[in-house]
Structures are given as structure tokens and as C-alpha cells.
Amino acid sequence: MALLTFDTAHKPRQSYASMAILLAVMLVFPFVASQFGNSWVRIIDMALLYIMLALGLNIVVGFAGLLDLGYIAFFAVGAYLTGLLASPQFAALLESVVNYSPAMGDALVALFGESIRTEGIHLSVWFIVPLAGLVAALFGALLGAPTLKLRGDYLAIVTLGFGEIIRIFMNNLNDPINFTNGPQGINLIDPIRIFGVSLAGEAGSKATVFIGGFGMPSVNAYYFLFLLLCIVTIFMTSRLQHSRLGRAWVAIREDEIAAKAMGINTRNVKLLAFSMGASFGGVAGAMFAAFQGFVSPESFSLTESIAVLAMVVLGGIGHIPGVVMGGVLLAALPEVLRHVVEPVQQSLFGKVLIEAEVLRQLLYGLAMVLIMLNRPAGLWPSPIKEDRPVAATDKEEKEESAVV
Amino acid sequence: MDTFIQQILNGLVLGSMYALVALGYTMVYGVLNLINFAHGDVLMIGAMVGLSILRMLDSTFPGLPGGVQLAIAILGAIPVAMLVNILIERVAYRRLRNAPRLAPLITAIGVSILLQTFVMAMPFWGRSPLPFPQLLSSDPIMVGGAVISQTQVLLLVLAALAMLLLVFLVEKTKMGRAMRAVAENPRVAGLMGVDSNRVIVSTFAIGAALAAVAGVMWGANYASIQFAMGTLPGMKAFSAAVLGGIGNIYGAMIGGIVLGIIESLGAGYIGDLTGGFLGSHYQDIFAFVVLILVLTVRPSGIMGERVADRA
Amino acid sequence: MNDLLLNISSVNKRFGGLQALTDVRIQIARGQIYGLIGPNGAGKTTFFNVITGLYQPDTGTFELDGKPYSPSAPHAVAKAGIARTFQNIRLFGEMRALENVMVGRHVRTRQGVFGAIVRHRAARAEEAAIRARAQELLDFVGIGQFAQRTARYLSYGDQRRLEIARALATEPKLLALDEPAAGMNATEKLALRELLVKIQKAGITILLIEHDVKLMMGLCDRISVLEYGKLIAEGLPAEIQKNQAVIEAYLGGAH
């Protein structure tokens, strides 16, 4: 990692150069990868979404030191909101409302128009994305509020509980009023439409998107959108980190009592951490729903919350480049392995001994255990010590303090 | 009224299992101030090992009476579970005793995943739900206006027995005294000649044994086990431990039973309570709601917490 | 301008079976260095914690600079104008010295999420001002050259100074120091004394708890003495030294 640095405060030229190189690679990648089919770009598309999630969770866990084990709930909120407002689902919702209370049904039709009976609501991406962010932020504050006075491990379990509660609601909120369509989930979610161009490609184009006269596969189009969003996320979280608010988060993480004594309203600052972190999750969720075209409760389980946490922990808690790396490793690697390992096993042994899903879980488990035991600050921790929360048992730290 | 008794009975059965697992959580928290996140998976390992033993018995000694088979399964699952938990402590937690609180918790989550992955990868276990044989007669026994099965009765008996044994151990034996000492003040206990490592290992071992019993009986009761079966019950059992008073073994027993009853009654009556909006599928929520309420309103729980003074 | 900066009376605090504070009061005039002494366990830190909002008193009236203040939350107390340090130094260990002091500026500055992300002119100006003021304060307490050192790695004496600089960053009217000289040798105590006088000259009132009686006698304008949670003496240092009750409290009855 010595060549690549992103420390703009101390090594501006080197870090901007690193960023430029990385950006160039990222921009060229889909065109190269497309030669080998769509799967590789699709893998990176999902990885980019996970990176956004990891960056959002990094605000809560990394900056503020609040171990949130239910973070995927905000991803779910954004995704289901999109499912409800950009698909035929609202028609089903309306039907159930009408069954329950015809008066309410009429009111909804009056509000949204007659077409919702058959087609549902189809809001544009420009409306849905900010809405997803806002609603998720609201949920962040709601779910964070009861945890404010809890110590570390209790906070973790309570947030885990909230994550589970949200999942259970998503799985069951289809009766009497059909919000989420239960275990089947919501289908036929609109793809993203930007300036009239659908990122899934028009019907009959075999998922090819045409911009001007130039055509590219749909997964590539989404790639560039997600890449842009990722860059925006990195930008925003980095700005937050190096600000008055960011310092307040680190202060709370280091010593909450001292932080209070210095005038920091820890309740509000913690709620802000939850909200800001959640909002990124919500936006990522909206993107996920549109990209995949459907959402179901299985995508939002405890396993997923833990996966995102593993990315933050593996990469470098609190260190944005590290978190991005962790996201790439734990989101892309298992998929890459699946494409490689399963066929290899098939040809060697005639059957698949270890499924990709098992491999994925193995990676997550090993990541968390090995990192915490050997390099608790992560694989790529901040070169600036102030940004390292769990550095107390880091061997490097011990060696350094022996020298000082 | 019949339904009410039935719900209470169900709650007692469920609660006994929660109590057994809650004891493991509470004892470890009492001596180490650590939530052994992987404890629920120890329950799962107990169930898996029990299943394997039953399969072996079935092929080598077919025709053994169901009760005997179950007994052997339990007796076989216990040492394996103890070994697993002791290994976890040694490998994952011991080095992090003085680390900031988040580190062992994250490690514990990792261990939990690894345990599940291990079970997933073993061809004789795997990812799909596995049927657990019905060894005892499933003829219902009438109690009041409600039914209970032989398996459930056995579960209640075993749980009560285990808890009694534990109380005896903690109150009357030297190891028990040592455990209580370490739970109160590890440093002073050390000064008095107590080997805190030995105590901690024993704590993990005992907790695992209880979880193994709960795991096998869970399988016997619900007739199906799976690699992920331990996570949710584990978290609920932890909530039960907090409800009763973390670190307090009497609290864990009471908390477990109470939570089981709350969950059972809640699942039964939630439909009526919310005007049809929420159904019994929301059962799993109760444990977490209880946890949040306890931590907000009375964090020390029903019987008061007993946590080490780790100044 | 009211001459009385801090006016606190009738403070009672009970912890379960223990009456930690009984009817304690204190009156500090503007610009004074006021000392609080007493044997171990007398309730000095408890009183401190009550004044600064860490503990909730059972009873008490609290007035700072003529205005009543509610010691219900530590951050509100800091905002009202009382800043404190801690007996066993509570720094933000992983942050650099400069950043620690910058956190102290939090309560007097306002940029939030919008300013953080957008960094418009006002936000940038505020941030530059925070940084400049923090460096000024580090220089003021004498550790300006350690601005970029991680706080955890500073020497004990420098950590104490850093904690004071951080407290000063909140622009307090009253600086409350809990045993700032603990663990210091004679030279360090002299330096600390100079610093405190310098702070007093800058117009900040100081309340401090200390065990070093000699230091207190030379430094403080007035002293209160606590024993078993009760105020047993109050007045000029010379008076306190001769006070029979105080002598007995420290040395025991018969002598």
C-alpha cells in the first residue's frame, strides 16, 4: 500500500495522483471486462453497492464507535420504499386498502390518480433517491434513539434486534394491508431512467443502453452510475470525517464522558451518526432495488449486516480507503471465487465440494477473527493514528510506543 | 381458558430452553464482561452432534428404546460442545481480555460464522434443514385443558435437573465458590489463590454442556435442525439473561422462563391485541422488545446484575 | 458586573446508604483562585461532579455569573461556562494534541453536516479559526511544539497541560481542575502554579481540588475544606491553616 496513498492533508501530490490512476482504471475496466461477458461487471456493480454500505456503516462504527449490527435495515428501507413507489406494488397495496377500508382506498386514488389501481406508482429516480435517503435517515434516528445510553455490547445486540425486527416486518407486512408483499417480495421494479434513457435498455435491445449513437450493456451503464455514487459517498464521508462533526464523533468514541464535559451534546451527535450512516444505506438500497428489479426479505438478513461489518473491520475501521478495499475484497472476491472455484471443483472432483456460499461465509468469519486477533486496526489502517479506534492491541502500536 | 393454559405450557417449554442457554451467556458475562456471541451456535453444534450420534445408533444398534438413544445423544453431545466452547475461549477470546470492548465481540461474531460454515461444509450435515428423529412417543399428555408431549416433559425435567445441579455446583462446591469469587473481583480472587483461567475455562465448559442439552432437546422437540438454528434463540436467550439480571444465574433461569412465557402468550394473543394488524409471525420480535424495554427502564434486570468489578 | 461568579448552596447528594454531601455550599468571586481541600473520601470530586453535571444532586441551587444554571447535563454546564479537567486525565488518546484542543472549541462553534460537506466560505473560516485558536492555546500552556503528537504519547505533565488547554478552548468563565498536580514533582508543580496564575491573569476564575496543602496555601485566594461530605471550614489560607477543625481532620483528634 506504500505506493497508493490518499492522505491529502500530508501528501497531496501523491494522493491526487493515486486517485487519478485509480479513477482511470475504474473507468476503463468495464470496457475491458465486457469482452469476457457481463458477469464481471455485474459483480463489481454489486460490490460498488456494498462499498457504499460499508462507507455508511463506517460512519457509525468507524467514526463514532457505535457497533451497529442491524445496519442492513436501512438498506431494506431504501429498497422497499423504491419497490413500493416504482413498481406495480402500489396497485396491490391499494387493493388491500380497499378491502380493509374503501374510504381510505378512494382517498388514495384521489391523491395519486386513477392509474394506480392497475399500474401502481412509478416515481422517477430523482424523487426516489433523495426520498430513500431521507426516510432511511429518519429510521436511523428512530432506531438509534433507544440505544443512546447503552454500553458497547448491549448497543450491538439491540441494533441487531432492530435489524431483525425490520426484516420480520418486511416479511410479514402484507396483511391486512399489503405493503411489502411478504416473503415473495416486490417484483417488476422500474429500472433507473436518467434523462429519458433507461439503464436497463429499451425493450428488444437485449439490455443494451444507447447514449447518443454509442451502445453499452446495461450492467455497464449501471456501473458508471454506481461508480459515480460511490465517489460521491467517499467524498461526503471524507468531508464529514475532517470536520467539527467528525471530531465530535471521534471524541465520543474515545471518551464519551470527556466529550460531554467539553460541551458536546452526545445525544444529538450520536443520532447524527446513525442518521447520516443510514441515509447512505437507504440510497444504496434504492439503487439495489432498481438494479435488481425485485426485492425480497432474504436480501436483508443478519448475515448481510454482518457482511457489511466484516468489510469495515477487514479493511480498516474508520479509514475510508481501507473500508473501500474491504468492500472490494469481501464483496467481489467471493463472487470471483464462485466463478473460478466451482468449475474447478467440478472438473477435479466431478462435483462441487464446497459451495460458493459456504466459501463466502468462510471468508467473512475468517476475516473478522483473524483481523481482530492480529491486526485489529484492519488491513489498511489510517496512517494517522487519530483515526484508528481499536488500535490498543495492535502490535505495531506496541512497537512504536516502545520506541517513543 | 384452554388456550391460555396451552400458551403457558408452551411458554414453559420454550422458556426452559432459553433458561439453559441464558445460563451460559450470563456466566460468561459475569466473569469476563463479554457476550459470547457464538453461544447460540454451541447449541446448534450440540444438536448436530446429537443427530449424528442418533444416526450412528440407528445403523449400529437399531431397536434401542427411544429414551436410551436420546440419553446417549445428550451424553455424547455434551463433551463435544464443551470442547468447542473451550477451544473458542482459548483461541479467540483469551488474547483479547484487555482489548477494548468491541474487539472480542467482533471476534465472537466471526467465530459464530465459522461454526456455521463448518457445519455447512460437512457433507453429513450441510446447509439444508435436517430431520431430527422422533424418539419418544408423540401421544399427547393432557394437562388441564392443554396438551404436552413426552419430549416436552423430558425437556422440562432435564432443564430443572440441570439448573439444580448448577445451583449445587455454584453454592456448595469449591469450583463454584471460585467462580463466584472471580465473578465478583477477579484480581482479588487471584490474590487469594484462585486460578482465574481455570475458572473461566470451567465457566465456558458448563455453559456449553447446558447448551448442548438444550440443542438436542430443541431438535427432539421441533423435529428439524439447521446450521443457522442457533443465532436467533441465542440472542433471545441473551435477552432473557439481561431480563433476569446479567451475571446472575438465578436471574438467567427466571429470565428464561419469563421470556418464554411472554413470547408464547404474545404470539397467541398479539392478533387480538393489535386488531388483526400483527399476526403470530411477529413472535420473534418479543424478545427484542423485552430487551430494549429492560435496558431502558431497569437495566439491572429482575434480580439485579452481578458483574465483575474490572476496574 | 456581578462580583460573585459561582454561587452554589444547599447541595445534598446521597448514594444509596451513603450521604456523600451534606448541605455543601461555595461562593467564588470573579477572578479568584479558589481551593477545595479535604482528606480522601471527603466528597471533593463528588462535589465537582455535581457542579459540572456528571452527578445529579438531590438538592441544591446553582448560579453562575448571576444566572441560575441547571447541572443536569455536562454539555449544558460547559455551554454555560464551566470547564473541567479530570482526576485521572481523560484525553482523546488517539487524537493529536491539536485535535484534542479543537474539540474543545466545539461548544462555541456551529458548523454542522451542511458546512462539513459543502465547506462554504463561512465553514472554512470557522475551521481555520478553530485550528488557529487551538494552536494559540497549546502555545499558551507551553506545549505548542507537540501539536501533531498523538495525545497518548505525551508525557504525563504535558498531558495535564493538554487537558487544561482543551478546557480553556471552551471559553469558560470558571475553570474547574480536579487534582491537576497529582503525580507531579516539585519542579512540575512550580510550573503548574505559574500556568494557573497566568490563566488567572487572563481573566478566568479557577476552582481547584488538590492534596498538596503547601501548593494550595501559596496559590489560592480562598479555600474551603470538606470532611465526610460536610463543609468544616472556609476562608483565607492563613485562617484555614490555623483552624482547629481542619487540623483535626487531617491529623486526627488527639495531638
Q: Are A335 and A46 in contact (CB under 8 A)?
A: yes
Looking at the complex, does the CB of residue A199 fall below 8 Å from at least one CB of chain C?
no
Strands in chain B per DSSP E:
130-131, 141-143, 146-148, 224-225
- C-alpha cell at position A112: 395519486
**Biggest distance spanned by C-alpha atoms of chain B:** 61
For A52-102, the pLDDT digits (tens) are 999 999 999 999 999 999 999 999 999 999 998 888 888 788 778 777 778
C40: left (phi over 0), alpha (psi -120 to 50) or beta: beta
> Rg of chain C's alpha carbons, rounded to an integer?
19
For B168-218, the pLDDT digits (tens) are 988 888 888 888 888 888 778 888 888 888 899 999 999 999 999 999 999
Q: Are B42 and B84 in contact (CB under 8 A)?
A: yes
CA-CA distance, B106 to A313, in Å (whole number)? 9
For residue C2, the model assigns a pLDDT of 58
Counting one residue from chain A and one from chain C, the pairs whose CB atoms sit within 8 A come to 119
> Rg of chain A's alpha carbons, rounded to an integer?
22
For B33-74, the pLDDT digits (tens) are 888 999 999 999 999 999 999 999 888 888 888 888 889 999
Residue A192 gets which letter from DSSP?
A: P
Q: Strand pairing partners for A122?
A: A86
Q: Are B238 and B294 in contact (CB under 8 A)?
A: no
To probe the interface with A, which of C94, C158, C164 has the most A CB atoms within 10 Å? C94
| pLDDT-derived band at C251, boundaries 50, 70, 90 | low
CA C60 to chain CA mean position, Å: 20
Domain spans, chain B:
17-229
CA-CA distance, A193 to A210, in Å (whole number)? 12
Across C71-82, average pLDDT: 92
CA-CA distance, C68 to A66, in Å (whole number)? 35
Looking at the complex, does the CB of residue C198 fall below 8 Å from at least one CB of chain A?
no
CA A102 to chain CA mean position, Å: 38
Specify the range with the lowest mean pLDDT, choosing from A75-89, A102-116, C95-109. Answer: A102-116
> Rg of chain B's alpha carbons, rounded to an integer?
19
For residue A350, the surrounding DSSP H or E stretch is none
pLDDT of B308 > 70? The answer is: no
Residues present in chain B in total = 311
CA-CA distance, B283 to B60, in Å (whole number)? 41
- C-alpha cell at position B229: 438454528
Which residues, numbered 96 to 115 in chain B, qualify as contacts with chain A under a Cβ-Cβ cut-off of 8 Å?
96, 98-107, 109-114
- Cell 465472537 belongs to B108
pLDDT of A403 > 50? The answer is: no
What's the predicted TM-score (pTM) here? Answer: 0.90
| pLDDT-derived band at A393, boundaries 50, 70, 90 | very low
Q: Are C203 and C232 in contact (CB under 8 A)?
A: no
For residue B210, the model assigns a pLDDT of 95
Subunit contact A162:B288, Cβ cutoff 8 A? yes
pLDDT of A201 > 80? The answer is: no
Q: Are B121 and A341 in contact (CB under 8 A)?
A: no
* B145/chain A closest Cα distance in angstroms: 31
CA-CA distance, A88 to B168, in Å (whole number)? 63
For residue C77, the model assigns a pLDDT of 94
CA-CA distance, A274 to A259, in Å (whole number)? 18
Judging contacts by C-beta atoms under 8 Å, the chain B residues touching residue A370 are 110
Interchain contact C/B (3 or more Cβ pairs less than 8 Å): no
CA-CA distance, B45 to B47, in Å (whole number)? 5
User: Average pLDDT over chain C, rounded to whole?
Assistant: 91
Subunit contact C83:A248, Cβ cutoff 8 A? no
Provide the sign of the torsion angle of the four alpha carbons B214, B218, B224, B228, taken in this order: negative
Q: Are A74 and A82 in contact (CB under 8 A)?
A: no
Q: Which chain A residue has the Cα nearest residue B283?
A: A168
Express the helix, strand and coil content of chain C in percent, nearest 5 each.
45, 25, 30
Provide CB contacts within 8 A for C89, sequence distance 6+: C159, C160, C163
Q: Are A98 and A315 in contact (CB under 8 A)?
A: no
For residue B98, the model assigns a pLDDT of 79
- Of chain A, the percentage scoring pLDDT greater than 90 comes to 43
More confident residue, B268 or B82: B82
For C168-178, the pLDDT digits (tens) are 999 999 999 99
For residue A384, the model assigns a pLDDT of 63
Q: Are B50 and B73 in contact (CB under 8 A)?
A: yes
Q: What is the ipTM of this complex?
A: 0.92
Across A236-240, average pLDDT: 94
* B267/chain A closest Cα distance in angstroms: 14
> Smallest Cα–Cα separation from B283: which of C249, A168, A140?
A168
| pLDDT-derived band at B2, boundaries 50, 70, 90 | low
For B98-124, the pLDDT digits (tens) are 777 788 889 999 999 999 999 998 888
CA-CA distance, C216 to C34, in Å (whole number)? 9
CA-CA distance, A153 to B241, in Å (whole number)? 14
